[in-house]
């Protein structure tokens, strides 16, 4: 009897997930369209939709479809009850974004600091303070929090601990555990993931090339990482460490990397490494974003040394992308974060290395593009990961009183 009940619950959760995912992609749509599109029978769809309406996850609209016979009432996702929060830790500072369960943005905050040289404890305290503000804002809007996910530039294990974030100087930081404690063990799930993994998820779900089954997103604002979507699913590896191309040794006698080795891609072509080569005598502001903007202005002005440096960086990135292309055969490589701002000068060099070095003709059909998300890709991907729990049929319980 217990087994039968458990099986019924699992089937129900699976069917809920199917309906929610269909609505997220196809709404507004009718119950009949859901049944036809998912293969579920009409009685099951009617029951599930009723449940979702009761939970304020779906609602009927005033729109109708004109068919022969009675018009069909259309359904859309209801964002009035729940929201997900995505956050990022980087050398640029801390970011928090919240979207309701229907995809409407509720907030977007960024704060500079604590900085790459701050202690993990100081950064976690600042992250927790920003998270509490975001949670309070979601609750004040009358919504409950579905989940909170944080992106970090480094090796993040499946327990949410940051094993190594060389660009931040972190080793063995129990970020998820510390954040859960700082938030007084909230009722919703708290997750931690690699920033590039989340950036790739954002591109796969919401970018101009959404739905691409095989893509790689490169980020380099703190550490250089590659988020990989393989056959429509995130590629994580055995312990969750896949995609750390920043520590490919490009020049064994090159500059010292934060990981302790020499000549890593990150030490040569990461944004901090690029900015370290920038003569900033006319730019007293040490903020990385301001310095990147200055680098763009110099390139736009046609400064030969700047353009040559960016071509060199693009060549190094292209050599690493070529390795990934030969192993994974992606359809797209997306340059994210500050790489996107510099894309006009990086992309040609990346493409040349890719064409010259890839084994497959025409680089296996791989295209190099720049992200349209600016510095928000990781946080948007973090929201998507929290919504994935919602879309998997694990419906939330009420948190507010």
- pLDDT of res. 3: 47
- pLDDT of res. 106: 97
pLDDT tens by residue, the chain, 401 residues: 444 554 666 787 888 888 988 998 899 999 999 999 999 999 999 999 999 999 888 999 876 665 555 677 899 999 999 999 999 999 889 999 999 999 999 999 999 888 778 899 999 999 999 999 999 999 999 999 999 999 999 999 999 999 999 999 999 999 999 999 999 999 999 999 999 999 999 999 999 999 999 999 999 999 899 999 999 999 999 998 999 999 999 999 999 998 999 999 999 999 999 998 876 555 555 678 888 999 999 999 999 999 999 999 999 999 999 999 999 999 999 999 999 999 999 999 999 999 999 999 999 999 999 999 999 999 999 999 988 876 665 666 555 43
Closest by Cα among 200, 201, 195 to 168: 195
Enter the tokens of residue 373: 């998300």
- pLDDT of res. 399: 52
Closest by Cα among 397, 337, 389 to 191: 389
Domain 210-372: homologous superfamily in CATH: ATPase, nucleotide binding domain (3.30.420.40)
CATH hierarchy code of domain 2-77: 1.10.10.10
| Other beta carbons less than 10 A from residue 119's beta carbon | 13
| Other beta carbons less than 10 A from residue 238's beta carbon | 7
Question: 82-198+378-391 belongs to which CATH class?
Answer: alpha beta
Locus of tokens 């977007």? 108
- pLDDT of res. 74: 94
Same fold, 82-198+378-391 and 210-372: yes
So where are the chain's domains? 2-77, 82-198+378-391, 210-372
> What's the distance, CA 149 to chain centroid?
10
- Cβ contacts of 50-56, under 8 Å, gap ≥ 24: 51/16, 52/16, 52/19, 52/20, 53/78, 55/81, 55/395, 56/80, 56/81, 56/82
């Amino acid at each position: 009897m217990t087994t039968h009940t458990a099986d019924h619950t699992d089937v129900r959760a699976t069917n809920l997930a199917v309906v929610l995912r269909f609505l997220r992609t196809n709404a507004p749509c009718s119950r009949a369209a859901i049944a036809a599109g998912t293969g579920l029978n009409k009685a099951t769809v009617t029951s599930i939709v009723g449940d979702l309406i009761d939970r304020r996850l779906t609602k009927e609209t005033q729109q109708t479809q004109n068919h022969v016979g009675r018009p069909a009432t259309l359904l859309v996702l209801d964002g009035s009850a729940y929201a997900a929060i995505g956050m990022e830790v980087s050398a640029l500072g801390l970011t928090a974004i919240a979207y309701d369960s229907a995809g409407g943005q509720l907030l977007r905050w960024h704060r500079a600091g604590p900085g790459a040289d701050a202690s993990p404890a100081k950064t976690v305290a600042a992250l927790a303070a920003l998270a509490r503000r975001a949670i309070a804002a979601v609750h004040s809007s009358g919504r409950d929090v579905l989940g909170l996910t944080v992106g970090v530039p480094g090796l993040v294990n499946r327990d949410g601990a940051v094993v190594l974030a060389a660009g931040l100087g972190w080793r063995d930081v129990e970020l998820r555990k510390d954040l859960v404690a700082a938030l007084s063990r909230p009722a919703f799930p708290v997750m931690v993931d690699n920033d590039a993994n989340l950036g790739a998820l954002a591109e796969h779900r919401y970018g101009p090339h959404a739905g691409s089954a095989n893509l790689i997103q490169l980020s380099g604002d703190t550490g250089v990482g590659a988020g990989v979507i393989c056959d429509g699913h995130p590629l994580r590896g055995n312990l969750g460490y896949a995609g750390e191309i920043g520590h490919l040794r490009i020049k064994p006698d090159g500059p010292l990397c934060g990981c302790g080795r020499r000549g890593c891609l990150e030490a040569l072509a990461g944004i901090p490494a690029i900015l370290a080569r920038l003569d900033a005598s006319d730019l007293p502001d040490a903020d990385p974003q301001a310095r990147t903007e200055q680098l763009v202005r110099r390139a736009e002005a046609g400064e030969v040394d700047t353009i040559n440096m960016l071509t060199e960086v693009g060549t190094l990135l292209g050599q690493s992308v070529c390795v990934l292309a030969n192993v994974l055969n992606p359809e797209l490589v997306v340059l994210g974060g500050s790489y996107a701002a510099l894309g006009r000068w990086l992309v040609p060099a990346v493409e040349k290395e890719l064409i010259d070095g890839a084994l497959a003709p025409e680089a296996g059909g791989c295209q190099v593009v720049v992200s349209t998300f600016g510095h928000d890709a990781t946080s948007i991907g973090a929201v998507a990961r929290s919504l994935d729990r919602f879309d998997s049929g694990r419906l939330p319980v009420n948190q507010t009183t």
